Structure 1
Amino acid sequence: MQRIDVTRDDGTWAGLSLDVRDRHQPDLCVHTAGPRLLVSQLSRPVLLAVVEEPLQGVHFRRADGYRSFVPPLRADTARALSGSPERWAHRFARYLSDSPGSPLHEGRWLLTCESPILHGRHPTTSHAEHWSSMLVEGDPDGYIDWYLHSHSWEVLPLRPMPGPGDSRVKAYRKQAREGTLPPVLLWWVSGLDCHLILDGHARLAAAIAESVEPPLLQVHRTAARDDLAAGIEDAVGAYESALARFAGLRAFHGPTVPDGAATTGPQFARQLRDLHTARQPTWSWPLPGGEDQWWRIAHEVTVGNAWPPA
């Protein structure tokens, strides 16, 4: 896997581009069977979901199959890497690439500390209130409401959230107060219109308990190599055409007309950045056996209970 650091316009670090090859289907995989979804990890059911027509939301049922591919993070490591999302990103990229159970597959990905979730808190709302509201409720089943929470980018735990008295949460609460809490790792899944917690359930619980903003790293698909090359070619063509128009105006009206660089340059830079970083839809794979297999798995996961709701 090739890693390339991505920077903002001012040169500061914004994320890590991951170019993955020769991994045709991930260990943590989204399967589809009509309007039904199954997230599985190493063939274990993790999450069952049914899209409610007409696209108003998703009923979900969490199974007990998810296991984090990130090893326990030591306190001395957290102190050494605190305040450096770039160094954390390189460490998590190694786990995403090398550990079984990861969602990475062939293509281009972005691992970034910039997430729309970070910009949704009202100034009068505490961090605890905001992050509690961002968690999708339901254990083991619940509902992701696309009507009321469209593009609010909620967070769906893949395991039950531990309480503030949990031993791991207590340990992380101390790190949250010290400012050394390791990032929570999220995966954007477009078919659910929310983020799944890949690692850091206890860390997020600790941040909520201490009412501090949790550090985040979010991974999502970006444009494929061929699409990226075509997009760059189009952006370069548009940039050159715009400069040519300004040059024609200057030739006709004189040097009082600007050369266009101040206008078209930043726009060109934004287009290139967006091509490298913008979210792309999550890939899914047809579920072998289709809807019949999905229902068999649902029956096993729910032990015959009435789910999904009629």
Structure 2
Amino acid sequence: MRRTDITRDDGTWTALSLEVRSRNRPGLCLLSAERRLLLTQLSRPVLLAAVDGDRCGVEFWRTDAYRPPLPPLRAETARALAGHPDRWAHRFAQHLLDSPAGPLHDGCWLLSPESPLLRWNHGRLPPHEYWNSMLVEGHPDGYIDWFVHSGSWEILPLRPMPDADDSRVKAYRKQARDGTLPPVLLWWVSGLDCHLILDGHARLAAAIAESLTPPLLHLHRTAPADEVDEGTERAVRLYEAELARFAELRERQGSAVPDGAAVAGPSLARRLRELRTEQRPTWAWPLPGGETQWRRIAREVTADRRWPEDR
């Protein structure tokens, strides 16, 4: 895996770009069949989902098979890395690469603390109210409402959220108050239009219990390397053409006309950064056997409870 730190113009670290190779299929794998989705971990069903016929939402059934791809995080590690999201990102990236049960596969990815979830509290709700409102409820089954929460990209836990008095949550609550709480790892899945919690259910519960904004690391796919290369060439050509346009103006109107670098330069830098960080849809592999196989798995997982209700 090739890692590249993404920084702003002033050198401030903003994200970690990952180029994954030689991993054709992930251990945490999304499969699709028409309007049906199946998330498996090492071939075990973790989450079944059925998109409404009118595309207004998704019914889901969550099993108890999910296991986080990251090892337990020690308190001394949390203290050592507190306030350093870049170091956490490198550490999480290595764990994701080492684990056979994570979502990484061939292509380019981004790990960033700048999740859009941090910008959507337009009602200025207290942190505990806002983050509670972003959690999708229901176990084993529930509903992701695309009509009410269109574009808000809620958070779907892959296992039940622990209570505030859970022993792990109590330990993390102290870290949250001390400012040493490790980040919650979220994976944006376009087919569900929401985030899945890959690691940190108890940490998120602790931040909510303390009414604090949780530190996050947001994982999503980005453009493949060849697309970035092509986009870079186009952006450079546009930059050069803009400089040439300004040069012609200077020849006709004199040195009072700027050379254009102050206008074209920031635009080029922004486009190059966007090429490496913009979100791309989540890959899903065809489910062998299609919808018939999906329904067979659903019957087994739900003990033949006639789920879902087709809409």
Give the Å deviation of 1:29: 0.6
Q: What amino acid does structure 2 have at the position aligned with 1:231?
A: G
Mean Cα deviation higher: 271-280 or 141-150: 141-150
Give the Å deviation of 1:84: 0.6
Match of 1:44 in 2: 44
Q: What amino acid does structure 2 have at the position aligned with 1:2?
A: R
SS at match of 1:196: strand
1:55 equivalent to 2:55? Answer yes
SS at match of 1:9: coil
Q: What amino acid does structure 1 have at the position aligned with 2:278?
A: A
Match of 2:35 in 1: 35
Match of 1:208 in 2: 208
Give the Å deviation of 1:248: 1.2
Give the Å deviation of 1:230: 0.5
Match of 1:218 in 2: 218
Unpaired segments of 5 or more residues in structure 1? none
Matches within 5 A, 1:284-295: 284-295=284-295
SS at match of 2:295: helix
Contact 1:175 1:181 in 2 (8 A): yes
Give the Å deviation of 1:242: 1.1
Match of 1:297 in 2: 297
Quick one: distance in 1 between partners of 2:303 and 2:165?
Answer: 30
Quick one: distance in 1 between partners of 2:295 and 2:194?
Answer: 24
Quick one: distance in 2 between partners of 1:9 and 1:217?
Answer: 21
Matches within 5 A, 1:230-309: 230-309=230-309
Quick one: distance in 1 between partners of 2:236 and 2:54?
Answer: 40
| Deviations, residues 131-185 of structure 1 (Å, cap 9, x unaligned) | 0011111111111111221111211000000010111111111111111100000
Match of 2:25 in 1: 25
Give the Å deviation of 1:124: 3.5
Q: What amino acid does structure 1 have at the position aligned with 2:104?
A: L
Match of 1:68 in 2: 68
Quick one: distance in 1 between partners of 2:252 and 2:88?
Answer: 54
| Deviations, residues 44-100 of structure 1 (Å, cap 9, x unaligned) | 001111111232111111112210111111111111111110111111011110112
Quick one: distance in 2 between partners of 1:53 and 1:147?
Answer: 13
4+ residue runs of structure 1 moved beyond 2 angstroms? none
Give the Å deviation of 1:30: 0.6
Q: What amino acid does structure 2 have at the position aligned with 1:221?
A: R
Q: What amino acid does structure 2 have at the position aligned with 1:47?
A: L
| RMSD after superposition | 1.0
SS at match of 1:22: coil
Match of 1:187 in 2: 187
Give the Å deviation of 1:110: 0.6
Q: What amino acid does structure 1 have at the position aligned with 2:258?
A: P
SS at match of 2:76: helix
| Deviations, residues 21-58 of structure 1 (Å, cap 9, x unaligned) | 11101000110001100010100001111111232111
Q: What amino acid does structure 2 have at the position aligned with 1:189?
A: V
Match of 2:121 in 1: 121
Give the Å deviation of 1:307: 1.1
SS at match of 1:242: helix
Contact 1:222 1:277 in 2 (8 A): yes
Q: What amino acid does structure 2 have at the position aligned with 1:148?
A: V
Tell me the percent identity: 66
Matches within 5 A, 1:119-198: 119-122=119-122, 124-198=124-198
SS at match of 2:39: strand
Number of residue-to-residue matches in the alignment: 310
SS at match of 2:121: coil
Quick one: distance in 2 between partners of 1:124 and 1:291?
Answer: 43
Contact 2:132 2:208 in 1 (8 A): yes
Quick one: distance in 2 between partners of 1:160 and 1:135?
Answer: 11
Contact 2:26 2:100 in 1 (8 A): no
SS at match of 1:5: strand
Contact 2:66 2:159 in 1 (8 A): yes
Structure 1 pair 124–166 and aligned structure 2 pair: CA distance change class (3 A): same
Give the Å deviation of 1:123: 6.4
1:11 equivalent to 2:11? Answer yes
Q: What amino acid does structure 2 have at the position aligned with 1:283?
A: W
Mean Cα deviation higher: 33-42 or 133-142: 133-142
Q: What amino acid does structure 1 have at the position aligned with 2:116?
A: P
SS at match of 1:128: helix
